[in-house]
A and B are shown apart, each in its own frame.
Chain A
């Protein structure tokens, strides 16, 4: 059973993309290699028109290569890429009808903001009256109408990024490619730009967006679907919420949000729809969402904010642990506990009387918030 077959969401995404139509993006078995080194390995993915899909993963995972393959800046060694119903694999970047925004904005420094925005229209030989109409419209869309006459050096990072987005949108592309567009901005402007991007997509619902980032918050905030990449392969794909709630493997669980992972044995299904596993001396209940085989080993995955110090429902799982550290992080307390030799993290709303290191606590968690994952494997 391959990885794609093992995960329903990934298998659904891996359907041939011929049917995406409109402005969707299709990857069909796309591989990219540089001098024999495979950096993107057999990526198959169908992005529907109007969707925002985020590709996330650590550095070198192949996410930017996938985006650059859509843009036409890298040539796949295998497979094909489609935009709408058009095979663009062998089409030059300038003929692909895409808008692109990159991390460092890449505004043309000798052009004013309005000329930057008009660049794509002029390159496509748009009529002057179209340019005169669309440039202010796009600048208004990103809230930069008042800065049309400014040079890039006269704009802040956030303003430059808005101009870059307006420039990409001015040509009314079928597809917008965003390559870590907020990485160079500080945290406050990044949050504001995230809201702006979400609003932008509400205003332009037919625009398909491929968003590459290493920031899980950006992906969770914006994306309809998230793809998690590792070592050139797509190791998880699904809608943002279910991928967060039911990660298909350990790597996804730990990369998308924080996760506590515990090794368990002797998985058994119960009559109540939950499964039970042995962890140390005790038994833990949870969901066997991935249909793992009976009697086998698995991993228990529970998010830090799903662990509670107070006792909950009667069926709740309980674990005792010794407090190793307590960190106050403003809007939450993060407590690290040693549970039978494994480190667990609990995220709680700020506590009036936080426990001291060395104290023994009992943790409780709802079985419906626990997911059993397949054991460690090379690809997660």
Chain B
């Protein structure tokens, strides 16, 4: 979560499209030690995962395991759920984050500043906490279901979405919306109020102002925040595991199941490699978006 918070801060910086002067070049000896540490702690384990996925020590390296795993029903289900959940949660985060940021930034109300500070705090909380809170509210024995059952004299809980794909999506939206809001609020703070007033005096109604003035100015922040959300939701593990939704298997959960529960390390490593490739691909897109909006079009916003 701390990494995600750091990434969120980077996105906020990107949104205001500032170029930080490059740090002075350090000598090779200063670079060697951290590079060695990085190789040992990050790239070496990654290489081990890749080697295991390709067959490990016991057989010649091949793509045989990849072909088997990638063609399996379980993997395809996992990939499908991962992508659907990530895309839906990201879309939800973008819509909710944009609306909430609009309200906080442009509709004055007492406590707006406090609310935006609370959103910052939210980023620091562990993801499973939201899933836990949701079980208390929307779970079978949760507050909402118990109240409705008593009120409507029902035998069974009427609300039953939490232990489904929708429960996971809703939890992820709740957790990751602040990651969209932070860069958005930074971007909104740079819009001159006079632009909105002039647009209004020219005859533009609020919706047109949002569409034609605010949205274009916020586009880099939306792209950056959305990309980050997508990246984080693709790899989300805690929420999916904690909710334990029936028949909702994602790639990270599949890796966990194969490695920890079934001791099938080769399959786990194949899935992990695909997951890493997916993440790196998304990260590449994110960097492209950063370069596009943070560089060439920075002057437009």
Residues of A within 8 A of B (CB): 71-73, 92-104, 106-110, 119-120, 123-124, 151, 153, 164, 167-168, 171, 177
In the bound complex, do residue B300 and residue A110 qualify as a contact, i.e. CB atoms below 8 Å apart? yes
Closest to A106 in B: B194
Other contacts beyond A99-B201, A171-B202: 9, CB < 8 A: A92-B200, A98-B201, A100-B201, A106-B194, A108-B195, A123-B203, A123-B208, A168-B198, A171-B203
Question: Would you list 22 pairs from A and B whose C-beta atoms are within 8 A, ordered by A residue?
Answer: A94-B202, A94-B203, A94-B205, A97-B203, A98-B201, A99-B202, A104-B194, A106-B197, A108-B212, A109-B299, A109-B301, A110-B216, A119-B202, A119-B204, A120-B203, A123-B202, A123-B208, A151-B299, A153-B299, A153-B300, A167-B202, A168-B201
Q: How far is the CB of A210 from chain B (nearest CB, A)?
A: 12
Does B192 sit within 8 A of A, measured CB to CB? yes
In the bound complex, do residue A96 and residue B201 qualify as a contact, i.e. CB atoms below 8 Å apart? yes
Given contacts A96-B201, A120-B202, A167-B202, contact A110 B217 (CB under 8 A): yes
In the bound complex, do residue A106 and residue B200 qualify as a contact, i.e. CB atoms below 8 Å apart? no
CA distance A171 to B202 in the complex (A): 7
Does B95 sit within 8 A of A, measured CB to CB? no
Contact digits for B149-161, partner A, Cβ 8 Å, 1 yes 0 no? 0000000000000
CA distance A95 to B200 in the complex (A): 9
User: What number of B residues sit within 8 Å (CB to CB) of A?
Assistant: 20
Contact digits for B257-301, partner A, Cβ 8 Å, 1 yes 0 no? 000000000000000000000000000000000000000000111
Does B39 sit within 8 A of A, measured CB to CB? no
Shortest Cβ-Cβ A-B pairs, 5 listed: A120-B202, A106-B194, A123-B204, A100-B201, A123-B203
In the bound complex, do residue A109 and residue B202 qualify as a contact, i.e. CB atoms below 8 Å apart? no
Does B241 sit within 8 A of A, measured CB to CB? no
CA distance A93 to B195 in the complex (A): 13
Contact of B203 (CB < 8 Å), options: A71, A124, A153: A124
Q: How far is the CB of A134 from chain B (nearest CB, A)?
A: 13
Chain B residues near A100 (CB-CB < 8 A)? 197-198, 201-202
CA distance A103 to B193 in the complex (A): 12
Tell me the number of A-to-B contacts counted with CB atoms below 8 Å: 79
Given contacts A104-B194, A110-B216, A110-B217, contact A94 B300 (CB under 8 A): no
Chain A residues near B9 (CB-CB < 8 A)? none
Closest to B204 in A: A123
Chain A residues near B194 (CB-CB < 8 A)? 102-104, 106
Chain A residues near B200 (CB-CB < 8 A)? 72-73, 92-94
CA distance A103 to B213 in the complex (A): 19
In the bound complex, do residue B197 and residue A71 qualify as a contact, i.e. CB atoms below 8 Å apart? yes
CA distance A16 to B204 in the complex (A): 31
Does B70 sit within 8 A of A, measured CB to CB? no
CA distance A134 to B203 in the complex (A): 16
Closest to A167 in B: B202
Chain A residues near B213 (CB-CB < 8 A)? 108
Q: How far is the CB of A95 from chain B (nearest CB, A)?
A: 8
Does B199 sit within 8 A of A, measured CB to CB? yes
CA distance A97 to B300 in the complex (A): 29
Chain A residues near B217 (CB-CB < 8 A)? 109-110
B137-189 residues with Cβ-Cβ distance < 8 A to A are none
Given contacts A73-B197, A93-B197, contact A110 B202 (CB under 8 A): no
Contact of B300 (CB < 8 Å), options: A104, A109, A168: A109
CA distance A352 to B192 in the complex (A): 52
CA distance A124 to B205 in the complex (A): 9
Chain A residues near B201 (CB-CB < 8 A)? 71-72, 93-94, 96, 98-100, 168, 177
CA distance A109 to B203 in the complex (A): 19
Contact digits for B196-226, partner A, Cβ 8 Å, 1 yes 0 no? 0111111111001000110011000000000
Chain A residues near B199 (CB-CB < 8 A)? 108, 119, 123
CA distance A98 to B217 in the complex (A): 25
CA distance A164 to B198 in the complex (A): 10
CA distance A109 to B300 in the complex (A): 6
Closest to A73 in B: B197
CA distance A347 to B143 in the complex (A): 83
Chain A residues near B192 (CB-CB < 8 A)? 104, 106
Chain B residues near A171 (CB-CB < 8 A)? 202-203
